[in-house]
Amino acid sequence: MLRVTDLTVCFDGVPALDGANLTVADGSVHALMGPSGSGKSTMLRVIAGLERPDAGEVAWNGASVLAVPAHERGFGLMFQDYALFPHRSVAGNVAFGLRMQGLGGAAAEQRVAELLDLVGLPGYEDRSIGTLSGGEQQRVALARTLAPRPRLVLLDEPIGALDRSLRERLLDEMREIFTKVDATALYVTHDRDEAFAIADRIAVIKDGKIVADDDPIGLWHRPPSAWVARFIGLENLFPSAALDQVGLAHPSPAHTSGIVPPESIVLTPTGDRTATVAAVHFRGGTYRVELDIGAGQPLVAWSPTAPSPGSTVRFSIAADRIIWFTA
């Protein structure tokens, strides 16, 4: 188990990490998500041992690893641009960590073959790095990282450079591989879909601080702040005052904003509210309906049928499902 406590790193006096806390449980994939400049890559490098923190603690199974040099931590790091060794073949790259452990010969060869099999590149041993496509390089980098059986796998935006369809396929494959080898992993990304697709748990980092840490479903349904809700892309975030105007009173004066989850809205002739349909978009199987409720921004609802724009519709809101925020 990895435990990071109050981690602080400053660059030229500017904090890149500002008291960040995080725990990664054994056998789980933990995503670390944040906008660029939020400190997520720095955090990864500190955990890896490539950067020294100004304050705080990084511990593995309760023992501090700060004094352990990077090459002895037993953590694997997969780089954003893969950092494959251009002067070595695919096998030379994958076997590198094994050689560092003193493993050579047939045992290493077998392990390399096993790993290449695992990432779907059997028989690629003698290929040179320059001849690989982006997706193949990504797989080789993953195989190289996993070969020495690191106790923790760190991944720095490992598929950020690839195109969308390839990313989706690789995400699925990586997910499968992590399960197969029972990896404990910390996966840095700025992409919400990526984090939700691969992680057992998602931490959100903002300005060097962890501002949310939950499983994907919990994060989606109970974001801890309006900023997190907006960052993960939740819709229908309104100031409390606007919701007040349409009769959705906030339970406490401390609540400054709230989200009306689209799934809490039902378009039905028996609804107790009315609104003008501002826009209707077809979204494969269902319609995204924007309702003008006079709150300064449209209220988004999902509907199996398409009301005509400009018409008046009746609907109801399950008010108890509104998520209120104090910040």
Partner 1 sequence: MMTAPARTGSRAGIALAAVVPVAFLGYFFIYPLVAILATGLVEEGRFATSAFTQLITDPAMRSIAWFTLWQATLSTVLTLAAGLPAAYVFARFRFPGRAVLRSLTLIPFVLPTIVVGVAFLALLGPGSPIGVDLRGTIWAILLAHVFYNTAVVIRGVGAFWEQIDPRLEDAARSLGASRWATLREVTLPILRPAILSSAALVFLFSFTSFGVILVLGDLRHTTLEVEIWRQATAFFRLDLAAALAVLQLAGVTTILVVYARIRRRLTTELRLRPVGEITRRPQTRGERGLVAATLFGLALLIAVPIGVLVARSLTTADGFGVDAYVNLVDPPRNSAIFVSPAEAIANSLSYAVPAVLIASAVGLLASTVVVGSRGRLSRALDTAIMLPLGTSAVTIGFGFLVALDAPFDLRASFLLIPIAHALVAIPFVVRSAIPVMESVQRRLREAATMLGATPLRAWREVDLPLVARALLVGAVFAFAISLGEFGATSFIVRPDTTTIPIAIFRLLGRPGTFSEAMAMAVVLMAVTAVAAITIESLRGSRSGGV
H-helix or E-strand containing 277? strand 273-283
Q: Taking the complex as a whole, how short is the minimal distance between the CB of residue 88 and partner 1, in angstroms? A: 8
| Separation CA 245–CA 57 (nearest Å) | 48
The reply to whether 13 sits near partner 1 by the rule CB under 8 A is: no
| Separation CA 264–CA 203 (nearest Å) | 26
Query: Which of 139, 186, 207 minimizes the C-alpha distance to 44?
Result: 186
The reply to whether 159 sits near partner 1 by the rule CB under 8 A is: no
Which one of the spans 69-77, 110-118, 212-220, 277-285 is the region binding partner 1 (CB under 8 A)? 69-77
| Amino acid making up residue 241 | A
Q: Which of 17, 32, 33, 75 binds partner 1 (CB under 8 A)?
A: 75
Report the residue number, 75 or 124, with the smaller CB distance to partner 1.
Answer: 75
The reply to whether 86 sits near partner 1 by the rule CB under 8 A is: yes
Q: What is the DSSP string of 101-147?
A: TT--HHHHHHHHHHHHHHTT-TT-TT-BGGG--HHHHHHHHHHHHHT
Residues 22-51 that bind partner 1 (CB under 8 A): 41-42, 45, 48-51
The reply to whether 158 sits near partner 1 by the rule CB under 8 A is: no
The reply to whether 52 sits near partner 1 by the rule CB under 8 A is: yes
CB neighbour list of residue 194: distance below 8 Å, 6 or more residues apart: 31, 159, 167, 171, 187
List Cα–Cα distances, 279 to 237, 266, 286, 302, 311, in angstroms.
Answer: 18, 16, 14, 12, 10
Which one of the spans 25-33, 63-71, 174-182, 311-319 is the region binding partner 1 (CB under 8 A)? 63-71
Q: Taking the complex as a whole, how short is the minimal distance between the CB of residue 127 and partner 1, in angstroms? A: 11
Classify 67 in phi/psi space as left (phi over 0), alpha (psi -120 to 50) or beta: alpha
Q: Which of 83, 107, 241, 319 binds partner 1 (CB under 8 A)?
A: 83
Q: Which of 2, 4, 43, 77 binds partner 1 (CB under 8 A)?
A: 77
Q: Which of 13, 36, 67, 87 binds partner 1 (CB under 8 A)?
A: 87
Residue 104-143 contact track with partner 1, rule CB under 8 A, x = bound = ------------------------xxxx------------
The reply to whether 148 sits near partner 1 by the rule CB under 8 A is: yes
Residues 207-226 that bind partner 1 (CB under 8 A): none
Query: Which of 295, 220, 292, 199 minimizes the C-alpha distance to 263?
Result: 220
The reply to whether 7 sits near partner 1 by the rule CB under 8 A is: no
Q: Taking the complex as a whole, how short is the minimal distance between the CB of residue 98 and partner 1, in angstroms? A: 9
Report the residue number, 74 or 271, with the smaller CB distance to partner 1.
Answer: 74
| Amino acid making up residue 312 | T
Applying CB under 8 A, what is the total number of residues that bind partner 1?
36
| Amino acid making up residue 181 | V
| Separation CA 299–CA 281 (nearest Å) | 13
Which residues face 201 on adjacent strands? 30
Which residue has tokens 């039902």?
Answer: 266
Please give the residue ranges that form the binding site for partner 1 (CB under 8 A).
11, 16, 41-42, 45, 48-52, 69-72, 74-77, 79, 81, 83-87, 96-97, 100-101, 128-131, 144-145, 148
